[in-house]
Structure formats: structure tokens, C-alpha cells
């Protein structure tokens, strides 16, 4: 399966339905008065975190998401139906940014958590609403308002507590395969792992800790060498980094230092002491 952890989408909430102008016309009811109903509200666009998705792959091909418009009001004071909300499912760990203003709109971390990203437009008022002592036969109504529209950037940062980092071939995938039920590809050539793997490590009391095995880093990864360092975003939120070093390597210290340098170049760990990383 392809792993996609960045996506841009366009969301548009539904327009509110127009209010209408109508007058009650019935036999034996002279001058029945205004009866134009209000328009229904437009549907909103809502993002929802779900646990059955692990990537943003679904957004690779679908970029535009529109919620339903509200319906026009009807005669006899009938309010138009509201447009249905559009609920878009995203994996847990998705951060949502407004691509234009760079504002962080929300961080969807727990299953079921929702975020309103575009509010539906309000339905317009029908002429019935404007009936008053001064205005017995209002012949105007309001149009529905446009729904909000936004360009969003979705960024998936997997939620693991422990991140396993190291040079290619250090044995990171082997470690997670032994500690957890994860079965990543293991082979004796570098860059076997191309996308992060998550594994749940069971503690004796039954609780689980999520470990993430990420692709190997090499010197210059921050400048795009090897697989680059983009996937480091997935261990940005870990509580602990497990630095795995092949003990049979010629220069163990430089193996460690290379990874440290890349972390610093990536920028997220500047200021943390090396002791924050757990070495093996």
C-alpha cells in the first residue's frame, strides 16, 4: 500500500437556501398575508479522525469536497430542508492547516474527534419573517448566504510513543518485528523500509505502547540524500527516541553522531540533549 502523509484539499460548505416571497391565497381567506418560508441552512464540511485509516492516500485523487446546499423555502411557511453535512474521514494524527493563512485549524488525535472546517451558509429569510405592524405585506425575502470555502493542507504525523531511528540496515525493522506483532520487510540491504511501520509493544500488565520504525537516515538526509528526512515528522511527537546502532559497525560513535546531526538539521530536536535519545 502506498503511504501518503501530505495532502491538499479544497472544501466548500453548502450555500443556504433562498427565502421566498409568497402570499397565502385561499378561498374565503381574503388578504391571507405573507407566507414565504425560510431557506434551509447549507451543510458544513467536517473532518473526523478514524482509527481504520493509516494514510492520507484517499486524498491523492479526490481534492474537492462540497457539502450539500440548503433548499429554498416553500410557500405556506415551509422552511427549506437543510443541506447534509459532509463528513470526511482522516487518520488519527492528522494536523489541519489553512493553506492560505498557514493557521493551524486543529489536530485530530483521537478516534471520533471532529473538526468543523467550513461552515454551511445560513438560509435566507422568507417574506413571512418580515411581517410586522408597519409592513403587512412584505414583498421581499433574503437570499441564502454562501458557505465557507477553504484550501486545507493535511499533514499526517503518526502517533507513536517511541520512535526507532538509526542508519539503514541497523536492524530497526527487526527490532520492531521482535517486540510487536508488526511484520515489516526485513532484508540485508539498505532502505528496505520505505514507509513508517507501527507496532504495539505489550507490557506485562497488558497495556500497549506504540513504536514506530522509520526508514534509515544517512549523512545528508536533510539535503535529500537517501530517502531524505521527510518521514521524521512521524516521530516528532514521540516521547522517546530509541537510537539503534549496529554494534558490529566499524565506527559506532560516528554512526550515532551521523543520526544526531541529521536530527539537528531537521530542526525539531535542537535544544534537546543527546540524553533525550535512548541509545543501544
Ligand X SMILES: Nc1nc2c(ncn2[C@@H]2O[C@H](COP(=O)(O)OP(=O)(O)OP(=O)(O)O)[C@@H](O)[C@H]2O)c(=O)[nH]1
Q: Can you give the binding site for Mg ion, defined by CB under 5 A?
A: 173, 192-193
Q: Please choose which of Mg ion, ligand X, none residue 188 contacts, taking the beta carbon within 5 to 8 angstroms, the exact cut-off set by kind.
A: ligand X
Q: By three-state DSSP, how is residue 127 classified?
A: helix
Task: Provide, rounded to whole angstroms, the least separation between the CB of residue 193 and Mg ion.
Answer: 3
Find the part of the chain contacting ligand X (CB under 6 A) among 8-16, 99-107, 122-130, 189-197. Answer: 189-197
Q: What is the rounded CA–CA span in Å between residue 220 and residue 250?
A: 20
For the record, the C-alpha cell of 167 comes out as 542508519
Is position 196 an interface residue for ligand X (rule: CB under 6 A)? no
Spatial CA neighbour of 86 closest among 105, 113, 114: 114
Is position 71 an interface residue for ligand X (rule: CB under 6 A)? no
Task: Provide, rounded to whole angstroms, the least separation between the CB of residue 190 and Mg ion.
Answer: 9
Sign of dihedral through CA atoms 192, 196, 200, 201? positive
Which residues, in sequence order, are CB contacts of 78 under 8 Å at separation 6+? Answer: 37
Task: Provide, rounded to whole angstroms, the least separation between the CB of residue 221 and ligand X.
Answer: 11
Q: Which is nearer to Mg ion, 79 or 173 (CB)?
A: 173
Task: Provide, rounded to whole angstroms, the least separation between the CB of residue 58 and ligand X.
Answer: 26
In the sheet that holds 149-156, the strands lie side by side as 64-66, 6-12, 149-156, 94-98, 104-108
Side-chain half-sphere exposure of 238, counting CA atoms within 13 A: 26
Find the part of the chain contacting ligand X (CB under 6 A) among 4-12, 58-66, 145-153, 162-170. Answer: 162-170
State the number of binding residues for ligand X (CB under 6 A).
Answer: 17
Site string for ligand X, 208-247 (x = CB under 6 A): -------xx-------------------------------
Find the part of the chain contacting ligand X (CB under 6 A) among 41-49, 122-130, 146-154, 188-196. Answer: 188-196
Side-chain half-sphere exposure of 13, counting CA atoms within 13 A: 26
Amino acid at each position: 500500500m502506498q503511504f501518503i502523509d501530505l495532502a491538499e484539499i479544497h472544501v466548500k460548505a453548502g450555500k443556504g437556501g433562498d427565502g421566498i416571497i409568497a402570499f397565502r391565497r385561499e378561498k374565503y381567506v381574503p388578504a391571507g398575508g405573507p407566507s414565504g418560508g425560510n431557506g434551509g441552512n447549507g451543510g458544513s464540511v467536517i473532518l473526523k479522525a478514524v482509527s481504520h485509516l493509516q494514510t492520507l492516500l484517499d486524498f491523492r485523487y479526490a481534492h474537492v469536497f462540497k457539502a450539500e446546499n440548503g433548499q429554498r423555502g416553500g410557500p405556506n411557511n415551509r422552511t427549506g430542508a437543510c443541506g447534509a453535512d459532509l463528513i470526511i474521514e482522516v487518520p488519527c494524527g492528522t494536523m489541519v492547516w489553512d493553506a492560505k493563512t498557514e493557521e493551524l485549524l486543529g489536530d485530530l488525535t483521537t478516534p471520533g474527534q471532529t473538526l468543523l472546517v467550513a461552515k454551511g451558509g445560513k438560509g435566507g429569510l422568507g417574506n413571512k419573517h418580515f411581517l410586522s405592524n408597519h409592513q403587512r405585506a412584505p414583498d421581499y425575502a433574503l437570499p441564502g448566504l454562501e458557505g465557507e470555502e477553504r484550501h486545507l493542507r493535511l499533514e499526517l504525523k503518526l502517533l507513536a510513543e517511541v520512535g526507532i531511528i538509526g542508519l539503514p540496515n541497523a536492524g530497526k525493522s527487526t527490532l520492531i518485528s521482535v517486540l510487536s506483532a508488526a511484520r515489516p520487510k526485513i532484508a540485508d540491504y539498505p532502505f528496505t523500509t520505505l514507509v513508517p511501520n507501527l507496532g504495539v509493544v505489550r507490557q506485562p500488565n497488558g497495556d500497549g505502547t506504540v513504536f514506530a520504525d522509520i526508514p534509515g537516515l544517512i549523512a545528508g538526509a536533510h539535503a535529500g540524500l537517501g530517502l531524505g528526512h521527510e518521514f521524521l515528522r512521524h516521530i516528532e511527537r514521540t516521547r522517546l527516541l530509541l537510537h539503534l546502532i549496529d554494534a558490529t559497525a566499524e565506527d559506532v560513535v560516528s554512526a550515532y553522531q551521523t543520526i544526531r546531526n541529521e536530527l539537528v538539521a531537521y530542526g525539531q530536536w535542537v535544544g534537546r540533549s543527546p540524553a533525550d535519545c535512548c541509545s543501544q
